[in-house]
A and B are shown apart, each in its own frame.
Chain A
């Protein structure tokens, strides 16, 4: 499946709207992983965790053809970690929704998987974009082949890469990944 189609379907599965550029990148990362489409999406390591130029290009293309609207939600100041405070909100347009409906019918199996993946994301805690970024970073760095990690390993990763995160945030991210079924947290 083309990244363009996957991104459109993923936004549709997320309720046809999504808040924040980083949030969008990370949610699509996890949806890609949970539906077995991740390898097609071109993710690579980046400052805020895994990032895909292909996904960013697909978002631009969706805007170009009038399937997606982007609005800016401004708020003053910046957080200490350098994360965005100015938020970009995305919403499928009426045409975008109608085209997405046609694609759902043509990709029924993937659509079902996406629905389940979104439910899983929600029941795992539906993290905000910063925590989601941290979870995505940890998952990416652990390597998806590894499958299991200790809490110490997670804390070491944070220290190793100089992330300014609290032990609780690390624990939350680990729990989130475990609830998604992506890693198993083991005791040493």
Chain B
């Protein structure tokens, strides 16, 4: 419960939280680097077979796990697994890219609701049990990317990423009731007392599917051309995705 005098302060706080989400947490570069780090770890464990990485990220509740975990930090991780030559080629390549600021590029972005009934499966794509479907999709997208001098793009370096942005009104509350304002001896919901928040459409919510890939462009024109050329083929790959029986809830 807040006092009526605190309404503007809360408005500022909630808007700051919203802008922090849209400008920082959902910033393109931050999304890409995050996904590259996650993929580097996954490839290090699954494909490169790096026992040290597996041990570092396989929580077993033992005191040994904590001791090992605390002995690592970002710098040591990048040094140990992204050095030259790296102990694991795939994990090493992604870490080297991060180090040299050669980030994967966002070659595709689309609102999820443009995919009709596939939308809900796209939303479920990041879940662990749907990893094989995601891999299949990334492999098919690798097939439509332009070949570089070193040959075809490795599908393991393609990342399909799905995320949502909620309305500022939804993100302003933690649950059903939200913040109450003490006014005229009667508590009233903040989002109704605040003129600013009253005018915001809570129905506004967005989800995006994006594809990050190891492609290069050197000018804005080139970037636009690559994205334009890839729009249709990547969209076709996503539309051809076949949800698993488990995703459909079939037993």
Q: In the complex, are the beta carbons of B202 and A70 less than 8 A apart?
A: yes
Q: In the complex, are the beta carbons of B119 and A51 less than 8 A apart?
A: no
Q: Which residue of A lies closest to B170 (CB)?
A: A60
Q: In the complex, are the beta carbons of A65 and B249 less than 8 A apart?
A: no
Q: In the complex, are the beta carbons of B175 and A82 less than 8 A apart?
A: no
Q: Which residue of A lies closest to B193 (CB)?
A: A78
Q: Is B3 an interface residue (CB 8 A)?
A: no
The segment from A99-107, A112-120, A139-147, A166-174 that touches chain B is A99-107
What is the bound-complex CA distance between A159 and B12, given in angstroms? 38
Interface flags, A44-70, vs B, CB<8A=1, else 0: 001110010100100011011111011
What is the bound-complex CA distance between A85 and B186, given in angstroms? 14
Q: Is B22 an interface residue (CB 8 A)?
A: no
Q: Is B149 an interface residue (CB 8 A)?
A: no
What is the bound-complex CA distance between A106 and B189, given in angstroms? 41
- State how many angstroms separate the Cβ of B75 from the closest Cβ of chain A: 36
User: Which chain A residues border B135 with CB–CB below 8 Å?
Assistant: none
Q: In the complex, are the beta carbons of A69 and B203 less than 8 A apart?
A: yes
Q: Is B85 an interface residue (CB 8 A)?
A: no
What is the bound-complex CA distance between A64 and B175, given in angstroms? 18
Q: Is A22 an interface residue (CB 8 A)?
A: yes
Q: In the complex, are the beta carbons of B203 and A72 less than 8 A apart?
A: yes
- State how many angstroms separate the Cβ of B243 from the closest Cβ of chain A: 11
User: Which chain B residues border A46 with CB–CB below 8 Å?
Assistant: 175-177
Q: Is B6 an interface residue (CB 8 A)?
A: no
Q: In the complex, are the beta carbons of B166 and A60 less than 8 A apart?
A: yes
Q: Is B248 an interface residue (CB 8 A)?
A: yes
Among A51, A72, A103, which residue has its beta carbon within 8 angstroms of that of B201? A72
Q: In the complex, are the beta carbons of A21 and B249 less than 8 A apart?
A: no
Q: In the complex, are the beta carbons of B176 and A63 less than 8 A apart?
A: no
Among B113, B164, B180, which residue has its beta carbon within 8 angstroms of that of A66? B113
Q: Is B206 an interface residue (CB 8 A)?
A: yes
User: Which chain B residues border A60 with CB–CB below 8 Å?
Assistant: 164, 166, 170, 205
Residues of B169-222 at the interface with A, using a CB-CB cut-off of 8 Å, are 170, 175-177, 180, 186-189, 192, 198, 201-203, 205-207
Interface flags, B60-100, vs A, CB<8A=1, else 0: 00000000000000000000000000000000000000000
What is the bound-complex CA distance between A137 and B137, given in angstroms? 46
User: Which chain A residues border B188 with CB–CB below 8 Å?
Assistant: 78, 82
Given A47-B176, A72-B203, A78-B192, CB of A2 within 8 Å of CB of B117: no
Give the size of the chain A interface in residues (CB under 8 angstroms).
38
Among A4, A25, A64, which residue has its beta carbon within 8 angstroms of that of B164? A64
What is the bound-complex CA distance between A53 and B170, given in angstroms? 12
What is the bound-complex CA distance between A2 and B123, given in angstroms? 13
Q: Is A186 an interface residue (CB 8 A)?
A: no
What is the bound-complex CA distance between A137 and B1, given in angstroms? 22
Q: Which residue of A lies closest to B177 (CB)?
A: A47
What is the bound-complex CA distance between A91 and B198, given in angstroms? 21
Contacts A64-B205, A78-B189, A78-B192 aside, 13 further interface pairs with beta carbons under 8 A come to A63-B203, A65-B113, A65-B120, A65-B122, A65-B207, A66-B116, A70-B203, A78-B188, A82-B187, A84-B189, A88-B202, A99-B117, A106-B249
What residues make up the interface of B, taking CB atoms closer than 8 Å to A? 112-113, 115-117, 119-120, 122-123, 164, 166, 170, 175-177, 180, 186-189, 192, 198, 201-203, 205-207, 248-250
What residues make up the interface of A, taking CB atoms closer than 8 Å to B? 1-2, 4-5, 21-22, 25, 46-48, 51, 53, 56, 60-61, 63-67, 69-72, 78, 80, 82, 84-86, 88, 95, 98-99, 102-103, 106-107
11 example contacts (A-B, Cβ-Cβ < 8 A) are as follows: A4-B123, A53-B175, A64-B113, A65-B119, A70-B203, A78-B188, A80-B186, A82-B189, A84-B192, A88-B202, A99-B120
